[in-house]
Structure 1
């Protein structure tokens, strides 16, 4: 392929990656700024923790019905609308804080609801836009951009705090979302000629119930696909639960100072960016099953090393390994998901199983937090890490079966039954 054809084929994917990068960068700035504002206002760590609880709660409230809407609406237009709504709501936050923190929490909850809808919507649009043979490369580049945002976001927030205030940082995020919406507006309208296909269907309890049955039927007919999905997300649930104890582990087990803990997190950031960069270089040479299976296994091994660590060096090694392989695992999983979940029901499937995942995160995090109150934090973290390892090994057994190799080829989706 000559250079002109190559550039032309990556025109829209590149624009989309730019929009994703701006949105992710702004999200990190917004998160850090909002944490500081709430802590300065209340002086309560619990008030800050409530911001994180609102994320899965918004998913619980939204995902039960949002998939039915997402699959029936124009994805590009919905993404633009959600970006604009989030930007508008974020602009209101500084003024709502002056009125009442409860008004602020309510607005953050609405923002999180919009974000819960945006994620499966963008997944469908990306799947429609990117040809099957380019999805693995695109997903690897997306992991690199996400990693860059993880490193640059906090740094940019720090610069903004030096030259301005956390309020300015929040406004910057609103501007980033508006720019993301504008960039999305420049993208092709892939559903221009099919937007009226479901115009007579109104959101109702009966429609949601019917859609739930469609998802259940799909799951029954495609047990292997959903098994891999469930195993992968189960490990992600455990990582979220273990990560909730990260600061306490660093303080009580490793006896780290605040600066040492900050450096430990930076090591994880370095692992993410290095892993994501190498992932983009070698992704075409690695099978999707290998990326997901081996990537997830080494993420679990990294957590094992971290869980048994008694020193900063050991914990840093574990952090680097788990962060390094996370990009490989995510790239493999996203590619598998896009190639095996039909676009017509992707919103409903992603939303419903996202609801289940959020529920499991809340339950698992609370359970591990309660056990950590009566047992040692390290024993809880070790148990969580071993659960991750066992699940990832089971996933490897299933996804390396020669008889299942078709599921990891470029586009097996036409063989999958929906109803």
Structure 2
């Protein structure tokens, strides 16, 4: 099996486990507490954990053998997930879930660093496209698999199966090569954190276009997540859809995501980064506008199909763009420190949309969020299409290393 195939299989198994876990932990927590508020708290745990983790995680990632740390985080995630069904009190469950979110936040930044280093630059777009395809497939199949497991077993058994998926993912990573740091790389000291912040700040000032595209991308993702947090309430109480309709819409979105992933993977070498970014952000924005103004099942379906299909375009283009333009030895710190800001924005957007949805019509809040997302997308598209920025989209460019 090739190196890239092993990577895809490892992260794919982890992705499928994540989607099984996403469904089963909600069911398990609701069965345990009977509280919708307790389940809703899951939306905040991830961003909060990122606040504690990402301001220093990148400094570690850029100084260590990342593969070993990825394997370690897989093992820790497996242990923490396996403990959940054995805990019966809500505070301990939340503490375990918070610990799990901390490790996941580290894993996400470390994975980007490892993938950037081990996948050749001329293969990144294709690799990211196949990874998006796997994520889309997991989005479609994972919840269905979780539903099947919940029919034949308890939520605890489904959660333990998820723990096994992390172990398998870690074992596959054992077969891949390390990308060790130079022997002269000093160990992390407390004072290095401030130095790393200044290094990222210096890179940001001298590479403003790269940072502009990155910031626009993470702001768009944060707005989308905030709207998704209100999705069930909006569709059932405002649009008037049933639970069955919602389940069907999720399946349709999953099918759209798989088709989008197949399209990008099949034509990755023919689709330029500009084409991926422009088409992806344009049609994702259109999808959210249709969703926000929808008054029928058909209109929501069209919006969700656009979201499912073109999210793969925007995601692949966004990830490949910044992998190509941020130096390998800085990407851990860059991803983590900007991720810290992203987590703050996510929490703010989720709370604002949730709060305004209680004091103002929810339709108004969702439309405002969709219009803001569309505005960000327009700025990003215009920026990408500027003729004097061609150098940032050369597929064969070599980035300079910054320590």
- TM-score under structure 2 length normalisation: 0.97
Equivalence for 1:38: 29
Deviates more, 1:78-87 or 1:158-167: 158-167
Equivalence for 1:72: 63
1:418 deviates by 3.8
User: C-alpha separation between the residues in 1 aligned to 2:393 and 2:134?
Assistant: 24
1:202 deviates by 3.2
Aligned-CA RMSD value: 1.3
Q: 2:141 aligns with which of 145, 152, 170?
A: 152
Equivalence for 1:165: 154
Quick check: 1:128–1:190 contact (8 Å CA) kept in 2? yes
Quick check: 1:137–1:284 contact (8 Å CA) kept in 2? yes
Q: 2:109 aligns with which of 92, 102, 120?
A: 120
Q: 2:378 aligns with which of 380, 393, 399?
A: 393
**1:189 match: secondary structure:** coil
Structure 1: stretches of 5+ with no match in the other structure: 1-9
1:45 deviates by 0.6
Q: 1:259 aligns with which of 244, 269, 288?
A: 244
1:83 aligns with 2:98: no
1:413 deviates by 4.1
**What are the within-5 Å matches in structure 2 for residues 368-383 of structure 1?**
368-383=353-368
User: C-alpha separation between the residues in 2 aligned to 1:122 and 1:217?
Assistant: 24
User: C-alpha separation between the residues in 2 aligned to 1:178 and 1:312?
Assistant: 41
1:338 aligns with 2:327: no
1:417 deviates by 7.2
User: C-alpha separation between the residues in 1 aligned to 2:125 and 2:187?
Assistant: 35
Quick check: 1:341–1:413 contact (8 Å CA) kept in 2? no
Q: 1:275 aligns with which of 260, 264, 268?
A: 260
Quick check: 1:140–1:283 contact (8 Å CA) kept in 2? yes
C-alpha distance after superposition, 1:31-55 (max 9, x if no partner): 2111111101110011011122111
Equivalence for 1:4: none
1:249 deviates by 1.1
User: C-alpha separation between the residues in 1 aligned to 2:184 and 2:302?
Assistant: 53
Deviates more, 1:310-319 or 1:159-168: 159-168
Quick check: 1:69–1:203 contact (8 Å CA) kept in 2? no
Equivalence for 1:3: none
Equivalence for 2:122: 133
User: C-alpha separation between the residues in 2 aligned to 1:371 and 1:60?
Assistant: 24
User: C-alpha separation between the residues in 2 aligned to 1:30 and 1:261?
Assistant: 20
Equivalence for 2:188: 202
CA gap of 1:197–1:293, structure 2 versus 1, over 3 A, is farther
1:305 aligns with 2:290: yes
C-alpha distance after superposition, 1:162-219 (max 9, x if no partner): 221110111101110000000000011222xx35333x42331x11111111110110
Quick check: 2:328–2:401 contact (8 Å CA) kept in 1? no
Aligned length: 403
C-alpha distance after superposition, 1:349-400 (max 9, x if no partner): 1000001001001101111111111221111111111111111111111111
User: C-alpha separation between the residues in 1 aligned to 2:240 and 2:29?
Assistant: 27
Quick check: 1:300–1:385 contact (8 Å CA) kept in 2? yes
Quick check: 1:79–1:122 contact (8 Å CA) kept in 2? yes
**2:269 match: secondary structure:** helix
Quick check: 1:221–1:417 contact (8 Å CA) kept in 2? no
Q: 2:207 aligns with which of 222, 227, 249?
A: 222
C-alpha distance after superposition, 1:239-273 (max 9, x if no partner): 01111121111112211111111112212111111
Quick check: 1:68–1:203 contact (8 Å CA) kept in 2? no
User: C-alpha separation between the residues in 2 aligned to 1:293 and 1:120?
Assistant: 25
User: C-alpha separation between the residues in 2 aligned to 1:152 and 1:83?
Assistant: 22
User: C-alpha separation between the residues in 1 aligned to 2:331 and 2:188?
Assistant: 19
Superposition misfits of 4+ residues, deviation over 2 angstroms:
194-198, 200-203, 411-414, 416-419
**2:267 match: secondary structure:** helix
User: C-alpha separation between the residues in 1 aligned to 2:380 and 2:271?
Assistant: 17
- TM-score under structure 1 length normalisation: 0.94
Equivalence for 2:50: 59
Quick check: 2:276–2:316 contact (8 Å CA) kept in 1? yes
